[in-house]
Homo-oligomer: A and B are copies of this chain.
Amino acid sequence: MKKIVILSFLLAGMTVFGQSKEDSIQFSTISTEILNNGKGYTELKDLTKNIGNRLSGTEAYEKSVKWAEQKLRDAGADKVWLQEVMIPVWVRGKESLQIKTADGTWKKLKMLSLGNSEGTDGKDVSGEIIMVRSLEEYDKLPASQVKDKIVFFNYPFNQSHVQTFISYREASAYRRSAANLTAQKGGKFAIIRSLSSAFDDVPHTGNMRYDDNISKVPAVTIGNTTADELELLLKNKKITAKLNSNCGMKGEKLSHSVIGEITGKKDQSVIVVGGHLDSWDVGEGAHDDGAGIVQSIEVLRTFKKLGIQNNHTIRAVCFANEENGTKGGKQYGKTAKESNEKHLFAIESDAGGFSPRGISLEMDDNNRKQIQSWVNLFLPYGVYNFEGKYSGSDIAPLHEMGVPTAELVPDPQRYFDIHHTEEDTFEKVNRRELLLGAAVMTQLIYMIDKNW
C-alpha cells in the first residue's frame, strides 16, 4: 500500500500543472449546484417513505420502477426506458426461531432468514445447537457430531479493520456457506451471527446460495446481542433450537431495470452511472441502495441544469435484482454486448450515502494513472483515496467486457451497523453527505467525458 500511495501522490504532484483551472472551476460549479439545489435528498425521502423496501418481485419494487422512470424524466433525461429482465422471486413469509430455556419453556429470538434460503415449510424443525467460532473449527467436526444438530456459526465481526468492508468480506464466507456446510454433515439448519459492526440485536439479512447436489437446509441470522447471549448459554448447557419458517424461491418473474440518458453531442458511446433499485425486504433501502439511485439521477439532473455539453452519452442505470440475483446487471451487460454498444466507462454507488472519501478503479494501469492524476481536483471535496481496485456487482459484467469500471468509496464506518436491516432508513442518511457523493460522481464523469 505504501509504495502505491507514494507513487500516486508523486504523480499527482507532477501532473497537476496539466489540469486546467477550468476543471477546478467546473468542479466547484457542480458541487455548489448540487449542495444548494440537489434533489437527491428529497427524492430519497420520497422513495423510502412512500415506497419503502422493494425486494425483487414485489409490488413495491414495481412501484419503484415507475417512480424511477418519472424521476429520470424530471431530471431532464432525453430518453428513459425500461430494460426487461427475468428475476428470481424469493418470499420470506412467517418465521420464528426459538430456544428452549433451562425451565423447559420456549423463548423467541429476534431473527431473519437469509435471503434465498428455503424454509421449514411451516413445520417445526428442532435440534440441539452446536456452536463453532470459525470455518476451521467446523471443518474439524466429524459428521457424527453434526448430524441432526443445529449449527451456530458464531464468527464475530472483526472490529480491527479500519476499512469495514474487509471485515464484511471476511464474515461473508459464513453467510454464503453456512447452509451448505451444515447440510454436508447432516445438520438440520444453520444459525449465523449477523454480519454487523453494531452492538445491538438487529439481524442483518443478505444473500446465500445453495450448492448443487446438496440438500437445501434453512439458514437464519441473529443479531449480536442474541448471539452473545446464546454463546453464554451454550458454555454451560445444551440448548435446543426450533425453527418454523415459510420462505423459499417461487420461480421467476419478468421485471425491469430503469434507464435514462442524456445523448452525447459528439458520439453515443456510453458512460454509465448507477445503483441498484431493489432492496432487501426490511427497513427502507435508504443507504442500500436508495442513495446510489438518487445520486445517479442527480448526475443527469446536474449536467442538464448546468448545460454541460456532454461529448458522450451519460446514462443512469437503476439496476434490478442486485441483492438476490444480480440479474439486472447481467442483463444489462448482455444487452450491451449483443447490441455492440460501445461503453467508455461505468461507475456505481453501492456502499451507502456517506461522505465520499475515494473512488475505486478497476481498469488497466494507464487509465488508472490518468484518473489518479486528477486527485488534486478532488481533494477539496474530501476525496483523496484512489487506491482501490474493485468495482460494484451490477457493473461487473461490463468490466468483464473490458470496460473500465469504478465505484464511489464513501466513509465506511456506519454502513455495517445498518446494512440489510430494519435500521436502513432515511433518517440515517445525511443530506450533505449524500449530495457530496453525487457531486463527486458528477465531477468524475465530467472529467471522463471531457478527456476520454
Contacts and interface: CB of A to CB of B under 8 A. Distances in A.
A35 B199 CA distance: 13
A434 to B, nearest CB: 9
Q: How large is the interface on A (under 10, 10 to 19, 20 to 34, 35 or more residues)?
A: 35 or more
Contacts of A417: 430
A5 B431 contact: no
A128 to B, nearest CB: 31
Interface string A38-75: 00000000000000000000000000000000000000
20 contacts: A2-B376, A5-B376, A5-B379, A6-B13, A6-B376, A9-B9, A9-B10, A9-B12, A31-B160, A32-B160, A35-B162, A36-B160, A162-B381, A164-B432, A355-B411, A357-B382, A384-B385, A413-B433, A414-B432, A417-B430
A382 B410 CA distance: 11
B355 A413 contact: yes
A160 to B, nearest CB: 5
A254 interface: no
Interface in A356-413: 357, 376, 379-382, 384-385, 411, 413
A341 B431 CA distance: 46
A160 B414 contact: no
A16 interface: yes
A159 B436 CA distance: 11
The 7 A-B residue pairs with the shortest CB-CB distance, nearest first, are A9-B9, A6-B13, A413-B432, A384-B384, A32-B160, A35-B159, A10-B13
In the assembly, how many copies of this chain are there? 2
A16 B36 CA distance: 40
A414 B436 contact: no
A221 B282 CA distance: 40
Contacts of A7: 13
Contacts of A6: 12-13, 16, 376
Contacts of A436: 162, 413
Interface in A250-294: none
Nearest to A36: B159
A381 B379 CA distance: 17
Contacts of A16: 2, 6
Interface in A157-213: 159-160, 162, 164, 197, 199
Contacts of A35: 159-160, 162
Contacts of A432: 159, 164, 197, 413-414
A102 interface: no
A1 interface: yes
Given A12-B9, A436-B413, A380 B430 contact: no
Nearest to A387: B379
A357 to B, nearest CB: 7
Interface string A1-40: 1100111011011001000000000000001100110000
Contact of A162 (B2, B5, B159, B382): B382
B162 A380 contact: yes
Contacts of A162: 31, 35, 380-382, 436
A18 to B, nearest CB: 13
Contacts of A164: 432
A138 to B, nearest CB: 24
